Structure 1
C-alpha cells in the first residue's frame, strides 16, 4: 500500500523513528516522502497521508476531511498512539463485525452466568493485588485488568472470566512494553478460557486479531457509546460508556452486567507522595522497568496527562467527580459497590469495607 508522509525538511532526522513505528502498524507499504514546503493539495482519499512537523501539521489543520489524514507527530500530539492504531485500521482488512461481537458476548455471559454466582470481583493492578493470592475468589465472577498477565501464578489462582485492555500505547502499541504485554497475554489466554474484551476503537481489533487469531472466539470488541452509564445493559445497548479510564470504560460495565454486587480489589490509587505519572502499581503485575522507554516513545501523551507542573491531573480528572458520579448513578438504580481495602481514590475509599 502506498503511504504519503508530509514532513518538514528539518525533521527528516526522525525518519528512522517514524519508519520503525510504521513497520509495526502496517504489514506492507511503499512510503512516498513529500516536504511540507513543496506540498500541493492533491490528496487521494484512498491513500493515507501522514503529517509530521510544524508546517506539516498546519496543512493538516486546514483540511476538513481527515479520515485518511493522520497526525503522527509524537512530539506535539498526545494522541499519536491512537492515530497510529487508526492508521492500522485504515490500512488493514479486519473490520469489526458488530453482530458477531454481540453474539459472542451474549454467549459468553450466558455461559459464565451458568455458574450462578451473586457478585462480581474487579481487580486493578495496584500494590494490594499481591495479597489477592491468599484469598479465595471462587464465589464471584472475576474481571481483571490488562498487565496482571505478568503474574502466571496469580492468573491461575484467579482464573478470570474476563480480561480487559484498552490503551493505544500500553496495549496496542509498538513499544517494548505493549509487545511484552501481548506476549504475556497470549501465554495466559492459552492457560484458561478467559474472554478478552476491548473497545472497538479504530485499529484495535486489527492489531489484536493479528497476534491473537487463535483466540478469535474469545475476543470481544465493544463499540464506544455516547452515554456515561457504567451500569448500561450491554444486551440492550452494546456500547461502552464515554469514560476514559479502564475501570469505568470496561471493568465496571462488565462487572455490572454480571451482578448488582460489585467488589473491587487492587485499586490502591495515587498516594499523595507518589511521583509516578499516574498511580502506583504492583511491580509483579505491571512493567515499570519499561515505562521510561514508553515515555520516550510517546512524550506528549505523558506531558499532556501528567505534566510535571500538575502530576495529579489525570487521576483528578478521571477518578475524581467523574467516577463518583458514575458510581452514584448506578447505586441509584440498585447496584452496590464495595472497595475491599484502603484506596487513595476518594470515590472508592468512600465505599471501603470498614474492617479492613
Structure 2
C-alpha cells in the first residue's frame, strides 16, 4: 500500500551498478530502504549517512557515517550517494562536494507525492543560472507583481537568464527554454497539471501564494542563495563565522546572556536592574525605541520569512534592522539562506550580519568548528537559546510567557506588536501565513523543545533562569525574580 506521503526512490541511482549511500536518516530514507527491499536490492546499500553525528551508529541495520567519515573513505568515489531530503537537498549536495565527491556520484530525490498528487519542489543540484516563469502572464497587475518579486529576491538578476514568456505556450522557444532551465517557477497552481510540464516535474517550484504543499515565500527567499556558486556560498559562510567570532569577543568573562521574548512580561524587564551581559532580542522587539533605549541589546535574531519579502512590511522591517545596526557593535542573526539576500542588498552591513546554517538534525549550540543549529518552529528555540548558550554559561530568559491555554495563541507585549503593514505580507504570501497559523500542537512542541534545549545546556554545565513568570514548564521551574 502506498503511504499518503510517498517519496519515490530515484531509480537512476541504480544504473551504475555501484554500492549506495543513503544520505539522511529520516522518513524519506525509510521509504527508500523499503522500496529497495521490495526490489530485492537492499544489499546494494553500503552505508547511510548524516551530516550531524549522533549516538546512533546504525539505521535499519545499516552502518551510519558522518561527514568526516565519508571524507576519509578510500573508496568514496566508487559509490552513489542518494540524497534523502528535500529542503536540505541543495546543502547536502554541497556537503558531499566538500567531502570530495564528484557530481556524477550524487543523485537528487524525485518529486514527492502526497495523496497520489505530485508535490512540486525544485531539485536542482548545481547553482541556478536559468529560470523560466510559467504560465504566460496575461495582465499588467500579474506582470508587475512578478517583477516586484523577482527584482527583490534576485539582486543578481542581470547575471541570470530569466525567461518571462510573452505569448502562449507551445512554440519551439518554450520547449527550448524549459529543456535548458534549472528551475521552473509556476505561479498559478491550476497550471501544475499541464501536459507541457510533465517531463519537468523535478524542476518545478510552485510559487502560487495559495499553494499549501510548499509555501512560495520560503522558495522565493531561498532563491538568490541557490543561484550562488559553491565558492560564493562558502565565502558568505566564512564572513558569518568571522562576524560570530567578533560577537563572541564582546562577552565578558562570567557575564550572562539574556534572551528577551515578546511576551507581555517583557515590559516588566524595563524596570529591572540587569547585570552586564550580552542581550539578545527577537523579531518585533527591535521596533520598540523604548526597549532599545532601556535594554541596549547587542543581538537581533529573526527567522520569519516575511521579514525577507518584497512587501512594504518586509521593506519596513529591514529598515528597522538597518537602524538597529547603526551601532557598529550590534549584530543581526538570521538563517543562512536569508542572510545571502541581506549581504547582497546591504553590503555596508556585511560585518554585522550573521547567516546561521539551520541544517542540524540534532539540538546544537553553534561554535566555529560546528557552525549550525537545528531547525525548529520558533525563533527562541531555533536561534535565541542556542546562541545564548554558545555565548555564555548563565542564560537569563525574559518575556517567554507561553500560554495557560495550549489551544489559544499566546499574547504579545504591547511594545512588541506589528503595525497594519503586516496584513500586506499576509495577503502576498497566503500559504505561508496559513501554514504557520495551522500548526497542530504548536505549544506542546515548543514547550518540549525548550525543555530539551535547556536539558542539553545543563548537561554541558550551563545554568538557566527565567527572570519573568512563564507558563512554559521548563521556565516556570527555573523562575528567579530579579530586583527592580
Alignment TM-score, normalising by the size of structure 2 = 0.62
Match of 2:271 in 1: 134
SS at match of 1:272: coil
Q: Which has the larger radius of gyration?
A: 2
Which of the pair has the greater relative contact order for Cα pairs under 8 Å at 6+ separation? 1
Q: Report the CA distance shift for 1:283/1:14 in structure 2 as closer, same or farther (over 3 A).
A: farther
User: In the TM superposition, what whole-angstrom CA distance separates every residue of 1:175-210 from its partner, at most 9, and x where no partner exists?
Assistant: 222221111121121145211212212xx1232124
Match of 2:362 in 1: 228
Q: Report the CA distance shift for 1:138/1:336 in structure 2 as closer, same or farther (over 3 A).
A: closer
Alpha-carbon separation, structure 1, partners of 2:238 and 2:480: 40
Choose which of 384, 395, 399 in structure 2 pairs with 1:266: 399
Q: Report the CA distance shift for 1:13/1:152 in structure 2 as closer, same or farther (over 3 A).
A: closer
1:49, distance to aligned residue in structure 2 (A) = 2.3
Match of 2:109 in 1: none
Match of 1:295 in 2: 426
Alpha-carbon separation, structure 2, partners of 1:96 and 1:317: 37
Indicate yes or no: 2:412 matched with 1:281: yes
1:6, distance to aligned residue in structure 2 (A) = 1.1
Choose which of 13, 16, 23 in structure 1 pairs with 2:151: 23
Task: Specify every segment of 5 or more residues in structure 2 that has no aligned partner in the other structure, as ranges.
Answer: 1-128
Choose which of 388, 394, 404 in structure 2 pairs with 1:255: 388
Indicate yes or no: 2:296 matched with 1:163: no
Q: Is the 8 A contact 2:328 2:352 kept in 1?
A: no
Q: Is the 8 A contact 1:8 1:53 kept in 2?
A: no
Choose which of 308, 318, 321 in structure 2 pairs with 1:172: 308
Alpha-carbon separation, structure 1, partners of 2:321 and 2:137: 41
Choose which of 274, 284, 292 in structure 2 pairs with 1:147: 284
Match of 1:125 in 2: 262
Indicate yes or no: 2:329 matched with 1:193: yes
* Two-structure CA RMSD over aligned residues (Å): 3.3
Match of 1:106 in 2: 245
Indicate yes or no: 2:222 matched with 1:86: yes
User: In the TM superposition, what whole-angstrom CA distance separates every residue of 1:109-161 from its partner, at most 9, and x where no partner exists?
Assistant: 1x213x22432110112222222222233422211113222112321322222
Match of 1:319 in 2: 446
Question: What aligned pairs does 1:239-254 form with structure 2 within 5 A after superposition?
Answer: 239-254=372-387
Alpha-carbon separation, structure 1, partners of 2:479 and 2:440: 23
SS at match of 1:338: strand
SS at match of 1:225: strand
SS at match of 1:174: coil
Alpha-carbon separation, structure 1, partners of 2:374 and 2:355: 14
Question: What aligned pairs does 1:5-44 form with structure 2 within 5 A after superposition?
Answer: 5-7=133-135, 14-27=142-155, 28=157, 31-33=163-165, 40=175, 43=178
Q: Is the 8 A contact 1:112 1:161 kept in 2?
A: no
SS at match of 1:264: strand
Choose which of 199, 206, 230 in structure 2 pairs with 1:71: 206
Q: Is the 8 A contact 1:306 1:314 kept in 2?
A: no
SS at match of 1:82: helix
SS at match of 2:341: helix
Q: Is the 8 A contact 1:106 1:235 kept in 2?
A: yes
